[in-house]
Structure 1
Amino acid sequence: MTFSDLGIDQDMVDALAAKGIIEPFPIQSQTIPLALSGQDIIGQAKTGTGKTFGFGLPLVQRLGADPEPGVQALVVVPTRELAVQVTEDLELATRNRPTKIVSIYGGKAYEGQVEQLKAGAQIVVGTPGRLLDLAGQRLLSLANVRIMVLDEADKMLDLGFLPDVEKLFAQTPATRHTMLFSATMPGPVIALARRFMNRPVHIRASDPDEGLTQANIKHLIYRAHALDKDEVVARILQAEGRGRTVIFTRTKRAASKLTEELQDRGFNAGAVHGDMSQEAREKSMARFKAGKIDVLVATDVAARGIDVTDVTHVINHTIPEDEKTYLHRAGRTGRAGKTGISVTFVDWDDLHKWSLINRALDFGQPEPTETYSSSPHLYADLGIPEGAKGRLKATTRSEQSATSRPPRSESSRPPRAESEGSSDGRRRRRTRSGNGSSGADTEAQTTDASPESAPVEGGGEGGQPRRRNRSRRRRSGSAAPATPSE
C-alpha cells in the first residue's frame, strides 16, 4: 500500500517520496482514511510509529491546496522539542504547496512567532503555555480553527497541562475536527476526550503487551563502577555498526560533564539539557539529525523531541527513575521497525531501583552483570573490536608524536618557561609590546629551541629572551628603538 492508495494528494506523495518515505506505517494506514473524512479519532500509539504523518497529512489536505491566510489548524504538544519535530514533518508534507506553519513555544522571543502569525500562517504547532499567552494578548486567534490535534496527551497529563489544554479547546469552535493521540489512556485523558470530542473512533496501533519492552531492542544491564563508566561508554561508541547514539544522564550537570569528556576523547558529541538556551538545544538537535554529531547526551525532559529513526544505541549512563522512564529512553532506538541496543548502567546504590524496574518489565535479570571496561563479555555483547580503548586514535596521534621526541615534549621544558594561565585555559606569554600570545602560537615559534635556550617568563616574541634587550641597552646606553617586526 502507498500513500496514494490512502487518498493523499500527489504533491504530498511526491514530497514524501523525495525523502524516501514510500509505504505508510500501520497507524498511518488506519488513521488517514478516517481523518480525511473528518472523523474524530483517538489514536493510541507510542512515539516512533509514524503518528505525526497519520494526523498531519489529512490535516494539510483538508485545509486545501491553497488555504486562506489565518490560523485554521492547531496542533498542541507537550514540549518544545516535540513542537520542532512536528513542525519539521508538516513542513516536509507542505513542501509543494503554499501552506505556512509556525511553531509557538516558550524559550524564544515572541517577535518572530508573532510575525509569522501576522503573515498568515494557517497551521500552528505549539505548547499550551505560550499558546495561551499569545491568545490572552489577542495576538493569536483560535476562533477559526477547523482542525485541532492533541499529541502525546498522556505526557500532557504528566506535566500538568490538561487544564491549559481545556482552555485552548474552549477557544475553538465546537464544530471542529478533533484528533487525540496518546501512548497510554489514563482516566483523565479519557475524560478529556469524552468532553471535547464527537463520537471518536479509537484506533489502537500497538500490541497488547505495549507496556513491555520491544522485541526488536536488545537490552543489556550492567553493574558498573562510577569511575569506570566513561571508559565503558567510550568503548561502546566504537562498537561495530554503531550509528547515532543517545546517552541519558540524570542531571543537567552530568550531561554537560559527560559531553565534554567524550569530546576530549575524540567523539563528535553534543548535549541537550535544561541549562542550555532553547536556541542551543535546537542547534544540537539539528546537528544530531544532520549527522554532524553522532552522540547526543541528554536528560529525560529535554529528550522528548528526539525522533530520529536511525538511532542504533541508547545508553543509560544513570539508571532511570522507573519503568516508564526506562521505556521512554529505550524507545529512542528500534524505531520504525528497526533494531536497536539499549545499555543500562546500574550503580551499587541503585540496585533497589533496578529491582523494581526488572520486576515491572519482567526482564528476568534481578542481578545486573558486573562489568568493567576490560570485561570480555562487554566486547562480545556489543561487538567492540578487540584492542579498542577509551580514546580515539585520531586524538592521540599528536600526543604519541610528541612523546616520541622527548627533548621537545612539554615534560622536557623547564617549568619556568610556562607563564600564567589565560582565561580560556591556554598558557600565555607576554610579548615586548605587552600583548599576550597564546601558548599554541608560542610553542610553534619555539619548537626548534633547545631546553637550554627556552625563554623565561616574560621572554620576548619568537622565543628571544629578554636578556638580549638588556645587553643592547648596555652597549648603546639606551633602549634600541622598536622595529616594525617587534
Structure 2
Amino acid sequence: MALPLALSGQDIIGQARTGTGKTYAFGVAMLQRVGKPRKNRKKPRGLVVVPTRELALQVTEDLVTAAGKLGSRILTVYGGRAYEPQIEALKQGVDVIVGTPGRLLDLVKQKHLDLSQINVLVLDEADRMLDLGFLPDIERIIKLVPDERQTMLFSATLPGEIVGLSRRYLNRPTHVRAETNDAEAEATPQTTQFVWRTHRMDKIEIVARLLQCEGRGLTMVFCETKRACDKVVEELKDRGFAAAAVHGDLGQGQREQALRAFRNGKIDVLVATDVAARGIDIDDVTHVVNYDCPQDEKTYVHRIGRTGRAGRTGVAVTFVEWEELTRWKVINNALSLAFADPVETYSTSPHVFSDLGIPEGTKGVLPRANRSRAGLAAEEIEDLGETGRIRSRGPRKGRDEEREERRERPARTPRERRRTRGGRSAAEVVPEAAEAPLAEEAEEIVEAVRPERRRDRVADTAPAPAAEVQSPVVERPVEADVAPRNDQPAPRRGRTRKAGLNPEVSLGEPVAETTPELPGLEVPFPDDAPVEPAPRPQPEKIIPASPFMVIFQSPDLATDDDEIAPSAASERAQSRRRSQPRSGGGQRGPRRGGQS
C-alpha cells in the first residue's frame, strides 16, 4: 500500500505492526529513486536514520538484499566503531547511508559527510528515537538536508511529538496505516501468551525448566537492567545452557558477536535489554520470556513480536512479581488481554509442565548429554577499533586465559621455621648449654625468689628429692618490709614455676624461708635487690568549719619608714611640669580659656 505512494515521491507517515515488512516499504522506493551508482557521484543521495546500532545493521542487511541487482553502495555508520573505515568508505563514494544520529552528526562536524544532495530521508522507528531523547539531533539532521526532498517517517505509534515533527518538516504527508487504530495494541495472533505471577528468587528456575520444553528453538529473554542480564546469563551458563547477553555496557564487537552466534545457532538463548526489542528479525525464535515486567504496552508488544513473525507461531511467557501487579493491570487493560489476575506460579507448579510441554521430572540443570551448542566462544569477535571503555560485568574473552595463567603459576616454596635463641639455631645452642656452668641455674633460682616477684606470686618451693639434690639448705631471713601482707587478695591456684633444678613451686601456699643450694656453689643474694620504700606521709588537709573563716593571713612586712610609691598619673604630671619652659621675669603664661 505504501510502495506506490513512495515511488511517486510523496511524503509518507507509515504505521504498522512489527514484522510486517516496513523496511522494504521504504527501502525499495529509496533504491529506485537513487538509481545505479556512478563513478563521478560520491555524495550520498539517500539517508536512513535509526535509533539503535542493531537496527542499523538489520536495515543495512535488508537494503543490501534489495539492491542486489542495482549494486548500490550502502554504508552503515554508528557509534562504538572506529572512524577510519567509515571515513575511507565516504571518500570512495556511497549512495545510501544508514546510521544513528550521534555518529552522523560527528561525521558532519568533522566535514567528512556532506548531506547537501540527499533526495530521500527516512526516519525509522521514530517513536523509539523520541523515547531515547534523539529529537534535537533529528531536527539538526533535517536542517542539514535540502528542502526539496522526499521524507518518509515510519512509527509504530503516533505520539504528539511525531505529529508536530510531521507538520514542521513533511510536505502534505499521506498517513498509511496497515491495520486499524488499535493495531499496535493488538498482540500478535500467532503468539501464544502466558502471564504468571512469580517470585523473584524462583524465576531463574522456571526459565531453566522452560528451556527444556519440547520443540523449543531459539529463545530471547528480556530483562529491565544491564546487571540483570549479566546475572541471568551467569546463572544459565552454570546450569549448562549456551547463553549470551546484549546490552549497552557491552562493546560493539561483543554485541555483534552475540548476535552472530545467536543467528548461527552457536547459542540458543539471548538475554537482552529493550535495545534488542525492536528491529531484530531473527528466524526460528520460538520462545520469548519477559523476565522482568515491561514498562508499558508498547514495550510488551515489541518484545513478544520477536517471535511469531512472517506467519510462524511462537510462545511468550511473562513473569509478574507481586509489586508489579499494578503496572501489569495497566498493560492488560490497554491491550484488552485476559490476564488481569495472573496465576500464582512456582517452578514446581503442574501447569508449568503442562502448558509449555515440559517432560515430567525435568530439573533446573541441562543434562550433559543435551549440551550440544558450541557456545559464544566459538564465534570469533571482530576487531572494530572500538571507542570508549567497556564497563560490562560479564565474562570476557581474556578472563579465562587469565585464570589459566593463575593455575599454571608454580606454588610458593614453604618456609622452614626454626626455633632460635639469640640468633643461633637450637643445634648450636644445645652443646653449649650442656657445658654451661651451673651459675645460670643459680641465677634462675635467685630470680625465682626475688622479693618483688614473691610479692605478686606467693609460691612454695617443694623440697627436692634426695636422689636428685644432695645439698645443704641456705636460710635467709625475710625482712619485714617485704613480707606478704594479709590485705592482698589470695593468689590464683593451679600455676607452677620451674626454678633451679625443676623444683615444683605451687602457688597459694606459704613461702619457704629456705632456698636450695647447688653443691660447691655459693648463692649470694644481691644487696641491690629492689625494696619497696615506705609510703611518704601525706600532709593533713585543713577543712574549715565555715567558708568565711580565714585560714591563712600573710604577714605585714611594711615599716613606718617606708615611702609610699607615687602613682602613674602623678609621675606623668610631674614629668610635664619639668618639661615646660619657664618664662622670663617670673611671669606665667595666659591661663587656658582666659583673656590675653
TM-score (norm 1): 0.74
Report deviation, 1:395: 6.1
Q: Find the aligned partners of 2:157 and 2:145 in 1 and give their Cα distance.
A: 25
Go from structure 1 to structure 2 and tell me whether the alpha carbon gap of 1:204 and 1:97 turns closer, same or farther (over 3 Å shift): same
Go from structure 1 to structure 2 and tell me whether the alpha carbon gap of 1:289 and 1:207 turns closer, same or farther (over 3 Å shift): farther
Kept after mapping to 1: 8 A contact 2:278/2:303: no
Which residue does 1:439 correspond to in 2?
A: none
Kept after mapping to 1: 8 A contact 2:196/2:343: yes
1:380 is aligned to 2:359 = no
SS at match of 1:337: coil
1:242 is aligned to 2:216 = yes
Kept after mapping to 2: 8 A contact 1:50/1:336: no
Which residue does 2:162 correspond to in 1?
A: 189
1:424 is aligned to 2:403 = yes
SS at match of 2:27: helix
Which residue does 2:22 correspond to in 1?
A: 51
Which residue does 1:391 correspond to in 2?
A: 365
1:330 is aligned to 2:299 = no
Aligned pair partner of 1:269 in 238, 243, 246 = 243
Q: Find the aligned partners of 2:168 and 2:328 in 1 and give their Cα distance.
A: 39
SS at match of 2:403: coil
SS at match of 1:386: coil
Moved more, 313-322 or 387-396: 387-396
SS at match of 2:310: helix
1:28-81 CA distances to partner (integer Å, 9 max, x unpaired)?
A: xx1222222222221111332111011111211222233433211000111111
Report deviation, 1:264: 2.5
Which residue does 1:339 correspond to in 2?
A: 313
1:286 is aligned to 2:260 = yes
In structure 2, give the amino acid aligned to 1:390.
G
Following superposition of structure 1 onto structure 2, how do residues 81-100 of structure 1 map, counting pairs within 5 Å? 81-100=54-73
Q: Find the aligned partners of 2:369 and 2:227 in 1 and give their Cα distance.
A: 25
Kept after mapping to 1: 8 A contact 2:218/2:269: yes
1:251 is aligned to 2:225 = yes
1:272-321 CA distances to partner (integer Å, 9 max, x unpaired)?
A: 01110111111111222222222110011344342224321110111112
Q: Find the aligned partners of 1:36 and 1:349 in 2 and give their Cα distance.
A: 50
Kept after mapping to 2: 8 A contact 1:84/1:103: yes
SS at match of 2:182: coil
Q: Supply the RMSD in Å over aligned alpha carbons.
A: 2.4
Which residue does 1:348 correspond to in 2?
A: 322
Q: Find the aligned partners of 1:378 and 1:250 in 2 and give their Cα distance.
A: 23
Kept after mapping to 2: 8 A contact 1:272/1:303: no
Kept after mapping to 1: 8 A contact 2:43/2:115: no
Following superposition of structure 1 onto structure 2, how do residues 116-265 of structure 1 map, counting pairs within 5 Å? 116-210=89-183, 211-265=185-239
Following superposition, which runs of at least 4 residues in structure 1 exceed 6 angstroms of deviation? none
Report deviation, 1:110: 1.3
Equivalent residue pairs, number:
383
Q: Find the aligned partners of 1:181 and 1:354 in 2 and give their Cα distance.
A: 28
Q: Find the aligned partners of 2:124 and 2:319 in 1 and give their Cα distance.
A: 31
1:103 is aligned to 2:76 = yes
Q: Find the aligned partners of 2:367 and 2:222 in 1 and give their Cα distance.
A: 25
Kept after mapping to 2: 8 A contact 1:267/1:392: yes
In structure 2, give the amino acid aligned to 1:213.
A
- The structure where helix makes up a greater share of residues is 1
Instruction: Choose 1 or 2 for highest CA Rg.
Output: 2
Which residue does 1:24 correspond to in 2?
A: none
Which residue does 2:431 correspond to in 1?
A: none
Kept after mapping to 1: 8 A contact 2:35/2:70: no
Go from structure 1 to structure 2 and tell me whether the alpha carbon gap of 1:102 and 1:429 turns closer, same or farther (over 3 Å shift): closer
1:63 is aligned to 2:37 = no
In structure 1, give the amino acid aligned to 2:229.
A
In structure 1, give the amino acid aligned to 2:298.
K
Q: Find the aligned partners of 1:340 and 1:396 in 2 and give their Cα distance.
A: 22
Q: Find the aligned partners of 2:306 and 2:322 in 1 and give their Cα distance.
A: 26
Report deviation, 1:429: 6.8
Moved more, 182-191 or 260-269: 260-269
Q: Find the aligned partners of 2:413 and 2:321 in 1 and give their Cα distance.
A: 50
Q: Find the aligned partners of 2:401 and 2:156 in 1 and give their Cα distance.
A: 52
Kept after mapping to 1: 8 A contact 2:54/2:276: yes
Report deviation, 1:422: 10
Which residue does 2:567 correspond to in 1?
A: none
Kept after mapping to 2: 8 A contact 1:422/1:428: no
In structure 1, give the amino acid aligned to 2:56.
A
Go from structure 1 to structure 2 and tell me whether the alpha carbon gap of 1:173 and 1:423 turns closer, same or farther (over 3 Å shift): closer
Which residue does 1:6 correspond to in 2?
A: none
Kept after mapping to 1: 8 A contact 2:37/2:73: no
1:372-423 CA distances to partner (integer Å, 9 max, x unpaired)?
A: 22221111111112232222222699xxxxxxxxxxxxxxxxxxxxxxx996
Q: Find the aligned partners of 2:370 and 2:176 in 1 and give their Cα distance.
A: 54
SS at match of 2:359: coil
Q: Find the aligned partners of 1:151 and 1:125 in 2 and give their Cα distance.
A: 10
SS at match of 1:390: coil
Which residue does 1:464 correspond to in 2?
A: none
Q: Find the aligned partners of 1:332 and 1:36 in 2 and give their Cα distance.
A: 29
Q: Find the aligned partners of 1:349 and 1:44 in 2 and give their Cα distance.
A: 34
Report deviation, 1:341: 1.3
In structure 1, give the amino acid aligned to 2:360.
E
Go from structure 1 to structure 2 and tell me whether the alpha carbon gap of 1:164 and 1:396 turns closer, same or farther (over 3 Å shift): closer
Q: Find the aligned partners of 2:370 and 2:67 in 1 and give their Cα distance.
A: 47
SS at match of 1:297: strand
Moved more, 121-130 or 158-167: 158-167
Report deviation, 1:186: 1.6
Aligned pair partner of 1:112 in 65, 81, 85 = 85
Moved more, 295-304 or 170-179: 295-304
In structure 2, give the amino acid aligned to 1:113.
Q
Go from structure 1 to structure 2 and tell me whether the alpha carbon gap of 1:65 and 1:376 turns closer, same or farther (over 3 Å shift): same
Q: Find the aligned partners of 1:197 and 1:143 in 2 and give their Cα distance.
A: 18
Kept after mapping to 2: 8 A contact 1:216/1:337: yes
In structure 1, give the amino acid aligned to 2:211.
L
